A = this chain, B = another copy of it.
């Protein structure tokens, strides 16, 4: 591999001049510029980006933390983010926490060791107190997930409202025994959804049984299990608020297998409006989250931060969500 010095020698100029050509500096004579370019081609010269990084103290790399990329919501989000990153000459490192606190901290350490310029948190496993310190090392922003204590830019939806309108829709359709599902952690997002759910119930004066809360539910297979558990229940709910299209799809599919009528015997409310919502039978009535916009806006906020625009302290972007009717309710 040839270096900037080889090019300088061959072109008969100094390293500085070569560097200037490389960085499109003004004040380089055209003839020297040509000489340098010729030398570069001759030597098949390519700048070593690691050396550039060391010198410039920047990596042109940002990390996005998600639970797992095979969740369609996140893969779509990452698709959008990566496209914008690429357009801006940035690399995107995908970090899957796999719902694990330790893995999350290992990824955050990348920031300490100067391996990345910024972090987009699209999920959060640890308590914010564990994470807060990392904000000293590089810009960290929230995307979709959030925490009230965090003084960092956040791009998200009103999850309280999302859960509220979903639940209210079920209630307005006459369902009065509504179960709900959630994963394992209780993040800002999950907490707000719970609040929205209960608020709709309270408003309508409907009861809620703890028996109707399913936890640790996030995959299609979990949805199948939930349906099987529901139909075995003594006091059986007639609707379920899933908080996830994957879970909802599992419920619907299993219902088809076991000949449980959707929505007559059980109404199913999804969340996300993933592609699958339009492919199951019946189609999934769900809360549409504008995942493209969330991903796009988040990456833009991050890029602004990297360019010194925008402030690191609180700055909230709230995106709209809405209900999509398809037939499962």
Interface residues of A (CB under 8 A from B): 1, 46-51, 53-54, 59, 61, 68-70, 72, 75-76, 78-79, 82-83, 86, 91-96, 98, 103, 106, 109-110, 112-115, 220, 249-250, 252-253, 256, 275-276, 278-281
Contact = CB atoms under 8 A, between A and B. Distances in A.
Contacts of A252: 279
A93 B96 contact: no
Contacts of A72: 70, 72, 75
Contacts of A114: 1, 46, 48-50
A279 B93 CA distance: 31
21 contacts: A1-B114, A46-B114, A48-B54, A49-B114, A49-B115, A51-B54, A70-B75, A70-B76, A70-B78, A75-B75, A82-B96, A83-B96, A86-B106, A93-B93, A220-B275, A220-B278, A250-B279, A252-B279, A276-B279, A279-B279, A280-B281
A97 to B, nearest CB: 10
Instruction: Count copies of this chain in the complex.
Output: 2
Contacts of A250: 279
Given A79-B68, A94-B94, A220-B275, A49 B280 contact: no
Nearest to A98: B83
A68 to B, nearest CB: 6
Contacts of A113: 46-49
B96 A94 contact: no
**Residue with the highest number of chain B CB atoms closer than 10 Å, among A48, A249, A250, A279:** A279
A302 B278 CA distance: 38
A191 to B, nearest CB: 27
Nearest to A116: B91
A96 B87 CA distance: 12
Nearest to A110: B91
Nearest to A59: B50
Contacts of A278: 220, 253
